[in-house]
Amino acid sequence: MSLLLDALRKADRERSAQHSPAGLDSYTAESDASRRWLPIVLVLLVLVVLLLGGGLLWLLWGDEPEQVTQAPVSSTTPEPEPPTPEPQPLVPVKEPAASVSAASSSQAVASTAPVEPDVEPNRLGEAHQPPGAEVGATEQATSASQASLDPAVAELYRHKPAEESQPQPQAPTVSAATQQPAPPAQSEPQPSEPPSAPANTLAGFPNVGGIRALPLAAQNDIPTLMYGQHNYRLGGDSSIVLNGKTLREGDSLGGGLAVDAIVADGVIMRYRDHHFALKALSSWVNM
């Protein structure tokens, strides 16, 4: 019994220990831990506030656009420079033939004229001539000879272009290759005669019409014709079936109707004195 009581008491003590309120020691440990973290939290808060304040200041005063002054662009466009003229090639000027001949004659006279020595004192009994008299006489003789030659030369040049400007006509040469015989006259095509229709068709009987071409009295007298079969054989022995009766050329159907001819596309019938054509397998109904 004592063991049971001891066990019960021990269980009660443990139960009471579990449900008892916390003591002062526990509160002291928790307060020390909170005091240790408090300064760290305060420092972090201060740093965050400083960072936020610096960011706001940078946003307010740091984003001001820089005013860049640019020089105004002049709206005047430069005037285009006038094009410089290109240098033209020098063309030698041809002098007239008269000036060339005159210059050559003057050079010849100057080269052939003798150089006169210094004028000596006049001898007794000799006439004195000035030095320019002989040169003047030579020039007059040269000009006279040129005057006599110029008309002949001018006349020669006058006739030469006229002869060159009138070429002699040449006879045209006709080769054998170019000589082509004249094409024969084409005869006008003569109108060809229309081909005649074959005799073994209804077209070979142009004077025979259908039942509607007969007089009205004859149309009313012709009974109904039911075209049942059409058997055409080239060379003879052709037959047709009208109103259920087999007929050949020359057979009579009765009532004044007879078969005159059997062709490839129909039959030629005779009613009394009238002839009419009936196409193959086409019936006639008398209303």
User: CA 264 to CA 209: how far, in whole Å?
Assistant: 16
Question: Where does the pLDDT of residue 121 fall: very low under 50, low under 70, confident under 90, or very high at 90 and above?
Answer: very low
285 in a structural domain: yes
Host H or E run for residue 107:
helix 97-112
Q: Which domain holds residue 266?
A: 224-287
> Helices (H), strands (E): how many in the chain?
5, 7
267 in a structural domain: yes
DSSP 287: -
User: Are residues 261 and 208 in contact, defined by beta-carbon separation less than 8 angstroms?
Assistant: no
CATH number at residue 273: 2.30.30
Indicate the burial class of 256 (C-beta count within 10 angstroms; 0-12, 13-18, 19 or more): middle
104 in a structural domain: no
User: CA 231 to CA 259: how far, in whole Å?
Assistant: 14
User: Which amino acid does the sequence have at 194?
Assistant: P
261 in a structural domain: yes
User: Are residues 146 and 101 in contact, defined by beta-carbon separation less than 8 angstroms?
Assistant: yes
What are the strands of the beta sheet with 227-231, ordered from one edge?
227-231, 239-242, 245-247
Phi, psi of 70 (to 5 degrees): -110, 140
233 in a structural domain: yes
- pLDDT per position as a tens digit, 206-254: 999 999 999 999 999 999 999 999 999 988 789 999 999 999 999 998 8
Question: Where does the pLDDT of residue 139 fall: very low under 50, low under 70, confident under 90, or very high at 90 and above?
Answer: low
What pLDDT score does 225 carry?
A: 92
20 in a structural domain: no
Distance of CA 205 to the CA centre of its chain: 63
38 in a structural domain: no
- pLDDT per position as a tens digit, 55-114: 888 888 865 555 555 555 555 555 666 666 665 655 555 544 444 454 455 554 445 444
Phi, psi of 4 (to 5 degrees): -65, -40
User: Are residues 142 and 105 in contact, defined by beta-carbon separation less than 8 angstroms?
Assistant: yes
DSSP symbols for 123-163: PTT-----HHHHHHHHHHHHHHHHHHHHHHHHHHHHHHHHH
User: CA 262 to CA 266: how far, in whole Å?
Assistant: 6
275 in a structural domain: yes
* Domain count for the chain: 1
